[in-house]
C-alpha cells in the first residue's frame, strides 16, 4: 500500500462544488488502494479577505491574533472537505496543525517547522481513515500559541507531512497544469515543463513564481521529497520537481528552465556614503537588525572629487518603511547624505542550470530588453540565474520579450482553470 500526500490550494476548494469535486478525487485515490493524507488551503481568497478585515479593525494587528484569525481559514476548508468525503461513504477525519503535530518556532506569520509528530494522523490512517490536515498552520511548544507559516505555507505543510510520514509521493494540486516556463496568467503561450530540478525551482520561487512556496521547495530538497505539481481540474501529467543528486547525468536538461517576475520589492538608495572601509558593514548591520530580507545590492564607483558613493539594495516593500526609519535614525553616525525610496520597480529573473556551461546568456537577455526599449536599472547573477530590475510598468512586457528571445514560447495556449490571481 502506498501513502500519498496531496495538497489542494485555495482555488481548488473555492466553493462547495469545488470541495465536492476534490473530495471525489481524494476518494478515487483511496479506492485505488492508497493511504491518503491531504493538506488543504483556505477556500479561494479567504486568507486575503481575513487580512483585509484585520486591517479594517486595527492599523497594526497583533501578530498573535493575526495567526488566530488566518488559521481559521484552513479550519473551515478542512472540516468541509472531511464532511464531503464522509458523504461519499468514506471515513475522513480533519486535524488542525497542532493536532497534526506541526511544531514550529514562535515567529507569528513566518513560523518555521522545527518538528513534526503526526501520531494522531498515523492512528487515523491505521484505522482506515482519510486524513485531512489544515495547511499553513502550526503550534509553538513554548508559547503554546497557534502560528502560521507565511503566505503560500500550505505547500510546506504538505511537504513536511510527506517527509514525516515517509510518503511515496507528494502531489501539489493547483489551478494550472503544472510548472510553466513563465506565469501563464502573464504569458499565455508559456510551455509546461515535464520536469524541473529543485535547484531551478528554488530560484524561480525565490523570484516570484508563487506556484510553489520557496520554503516548501527547500524542505523537499533537504528531506529528499519528490514533488509532483498538477492540476486539480484534469488528469494531465503535471510537472515533477526532482532533486538533482538523484538524477545526476540522467538527462540533458534545456539551458533555460523559466523566467519569473516579482513586483513585491522596493529599492532603497543610500546617497553620498563616504567611500572608506567599514561603511557598507555599518549600513547593512543597521538593516540586518530590522530583520529585513535584502535581495540585490549595488554599489557605484565613487566620484573622485567627492569621495562619496551610492549604495542601492532591494527588499520586500512590506519591510521598506521600517528599514528607512532605522537608517534615518543613524544617519549622522553613518555619514550618508540622503535616502531615496522607490517602490515602482519590477524584478525579472531568468533561471536555468544550463547557464553554467553556456556563454552569452546575459548578452542575449540585455539585447532582448534593449530591443523592446526597456531600461535596466540593476543587475545581479548567481550560477544559474540572471536578474534585472526595471520599472514596474514594463515588467510584463519584459517577461514576454525575454520568454520569446530564449525560445520558450509553446505552441498552445496554457489553461488557467480557476483562481483570481490575487
Q: For the chain, what is the total number of helices (H) and then of strands (E)? A: 12, 20
Contact 214, 221 (CB under 8 A): no
Return the one option of ligand ADP, ligand ASP, Mg ion, none that residue 291 interacts with (CB less than 5 to 8 A, by type). none
**Shortest Cβ 122–ligand ADP spacing (Å):** 26
Return the one option of ligand ADP, Mg ion, ligand ASP, none that residue 258 interacts with (CB less than 5 to 8 A, by type). ligand ADP
**Residue 11 near ligand ASP by CB under 6 A:** no
DSSP 210-223: TTS-HHHHHHHHHH
Rounded CA separation 206/201 (Å): 8
Of the pair 70, 187, the CB lying nearest ligand ASP is at: 70
Figure out which of the listed residues 97, 152, 178, 238 binds ligand ASP, where binding follows CB under 6 A. Answer: 152
Q: What is the DSSP letter of 53?
A: H
Rounded CA separation 387/369 (Å): 12
- Close Cβ partners of 345 (under 8 Å, ≥ 6 residues apart): 265, 266, 267, 314, 377, 389, 390, 391, 392
Positions 17 through 46 that interact with ligand ASP (CB under 6 A): 41-42
Cell of 161: 507531512
Stretch that binds ligand ASP, among 152-160, 230-238, 239-247, 403-411 (CB under 6 A): 152-160
Q: Say how many Å lie between the first and final Cα of the chain, rounded.
A: 38
Strand 385-391 to 378-382 pairing: antiparallel
**Shortest Cβ 287–Mg ion spacing (Å):** 29
The single residue listed with the C-alpha cell 510546506 is 156
**Cα–Cα distances in Å, from 59 out to 45, 72, 229, 262?**
21, 21, 37, 26
Return the one option of ligand ADP, Mg ion, ligand ASP, none that residue 42 interacts with (CB less than 5 to 8 A, by type). ligand ASP
Return the one option of ligand ASP, Mg ion, ligand ADP, none that residue 209 interacts with (CB less than 5 to 8 A, by type). ligand ADP
Residues that bind Mg ion (CB under 5 A): 9, 152
Of the pair 262, 310, the CB lying nearest ligand ADP is at: 262
Stretch that binds ligand ASP, among 30-38, 148-156, 256-264, 393-401 (CB under 6 A): 148-156
Of the pair 106, 263, the CB lying nearest ligand ADP is at: 263
Nearest C-alpha neighbor of 97 from the set 142, 39, 54: 39
**Residue 101 near ligand ASP by CB under 6 A:** no
Return the one option of Mg ion, ligand ASP, ligand ADP, none that residue 179 interacts with (CB less than 5 to 8 A, by type). ligand ADP
Residue count of the chain, please give it: 422
Of the pair 41, 98, the CB lying nearest ligand ASP is at: 41
Tally Cβ neighbours within 10 Å of residue 186.
16
**Shortest Cβ 135–ligand ASP spacing (Å):** 5
Helix (H) or strand (E) holding 113: strand 113-116
Residues that bind ligand ADP (CB under 6 A): 9-12, 41, 152, 174-176, 179-180, 182-185, 209-211, 258, 416, 419, 421
Of the pair 10, 118, the CB lying nearest ligand ADP is at: 10
Figure out which of the listed residues 11, 18, 34, 47 binds ligand ASP, where binding follows CB under 6 A. Answer: 47
Asked whether the CA dihedral 180, 182, 183, 185 is positive or negative, the reply is negative
Contact 134, 74 (CB under 8 A): yes
**Residue 10 near ligand ASP by CB under 6 A:** yes
**Residue 153 near ligand ASP by CB under 6 A:** yes
Rounded CA separation 100/97 (Å): 5
Return the one option of ligand ASP, Mg ion, ligand ADP, none that residue 211 interacts with (CB less than 5 to 8 A, by type). ligand ADP
Contact 92, 24 (CB under 8 A): no
**Residue 154 near ligand ASP by CB under 6 A:** yes
Strand order, beta sheet including 137-139:
113-116, 102-104, 137-139, 146-148
> Residue 110, Cα to own-chain centre: how many angstroms?
12
**Shortest Cβ 291–Mg ion spacing (Å):** 24
**Residue 97 near ligand ASP by CB under 6 A:** no
Q: What is the DSSP letter of 372?
A: T
Of the pair 26, 69, the CB lying nearest ligand ASP is at: 69
Return the one option of ligand ASP, Mg ion, ligand ADP, none that residue 156 interacts with (CB less than 5 to 8 A, by type). none
Of the pair 9, 320, the CB lying nearest Mg ion is at: 9
The footprint of ligand ASP (CB under 6 A) covers 9-10, 41-42, 47, 73, 135-136, 151-155
Amino acid at each position: 500500500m502506498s501513502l500519498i500526500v496531496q495538497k489542494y490550494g485555495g482555488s481548488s476548494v473555492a466553493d462547495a462544488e469545488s470541495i465536492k469535486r476534490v473530495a471525489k478525487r481524494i476518494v478515487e485515490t483511496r479506492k485505488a488502494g492508497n493511504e491518503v493524507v491531504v493538506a488543504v488551503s483556505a477556500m479561494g481568497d479567504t486568507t486575503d479577505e481575513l487580512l483585509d478585515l484585520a486591517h479594517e479593525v486595527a492599523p497594526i494587528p497583533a501578530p498573535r491574533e493575526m495567526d488566530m484569525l488566518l488559521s481559521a481559514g484552513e479550519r473551515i476548508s478542512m472540516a468541509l472537505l472531511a464532511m464531503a468525503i464522509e458523504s461519499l461513504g468514506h471515513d475522513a477525519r480533519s486535524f488542525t496543525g497542532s493536532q497534526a503535530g506541526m511544531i514550529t518556532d514562535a515567529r507569528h506569520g513566518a513560523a518555521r517547522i522545527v518538528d513534526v509528530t503526526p501520531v494522531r494522523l498515523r492512528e487515523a490512517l491505521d484505522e482506515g481513515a482519510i486524513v485531512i490536515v489544515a495547511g499553513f498552520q502550526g503550534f509553538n511548544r513554548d508559547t503554546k500559541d497557534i502560528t502560521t507559516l507565511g503566505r503560500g505555507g500550505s505547500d510546506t505543510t504538505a511537504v513536511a507531512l510527506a517527509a514525516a510520514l515517509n510518503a511515496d509521493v507528494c502531489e501539489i494540486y493547483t489551478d494550472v497544469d503544472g510548472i510553466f516556463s513563465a506565469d501563464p496568467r502573464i504569458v499565455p503561450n508559456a510551455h509546461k515543463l515535464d520536469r524541473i530540478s529543485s535547484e531551478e525551482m528554488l530560484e524561480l520561487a525565490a523570484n516570484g513564481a508563487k506556484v510553489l512556496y520557496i520554503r516548501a521547495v527547500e524542505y523537499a530538497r533537504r528531506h529528499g521529497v519528490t514533488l509532483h505539481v498538477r492540476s486539480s481540474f484534469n488528469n494531465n501529467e503535471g510537472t515533477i520537481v526532482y532533486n538533482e543528486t538523484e538524477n545526476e547525468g540522467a538527462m540533458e536538461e534545456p539551458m533555460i528552465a523559466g523566467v519569473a517576475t516579482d513586483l513585491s520589492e522596493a529599492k532603497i538608495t543610500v546617497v553620498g556614503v563616504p567611500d572608506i572601509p567599514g561603511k557598507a558593514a555599518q549600513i547593512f548591520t543597521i538593516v540586518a537588525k530590522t530583520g529585513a530580507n535584502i535581495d540585490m545590492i549595488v554599489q557605484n564607483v565613487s566620484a573622485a572629487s567627492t569621495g562619496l558613493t551610492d549604495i542601492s539594495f532591494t527588499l520586500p516593500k512590506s519591510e521598506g518603511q521600517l528599514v528607512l526609519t532605522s537608517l534615518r535614525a543613524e544617519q549622522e553616525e553613518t555619514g550618508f547624505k540622503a535616502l531615496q525610496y522607490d517602490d515602482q520597480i519590477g524584478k525579472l529573473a531568468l533561471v536555468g542550470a544550463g547557464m553554467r556551461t553556456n556563454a552569452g546568456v546575459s548578452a542575449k537577455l540585455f539585447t532582448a530588453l534593449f530591443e523592446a526599449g526597456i531600461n535596466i536599472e540593476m543587475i545581479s547573477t548567481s550560477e544559474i540565474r540572471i536578474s534585472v530590475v526595471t520599472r514596474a510598468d514594463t515588467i510584463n512586457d519584459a517577461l514576454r520579450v525575454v520568454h520569446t528571445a530564449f525560445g520558450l514560447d509553446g505552441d498552445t495556449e496554457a489553461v488557467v482553470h480557476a483562481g483570481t490571481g490575487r
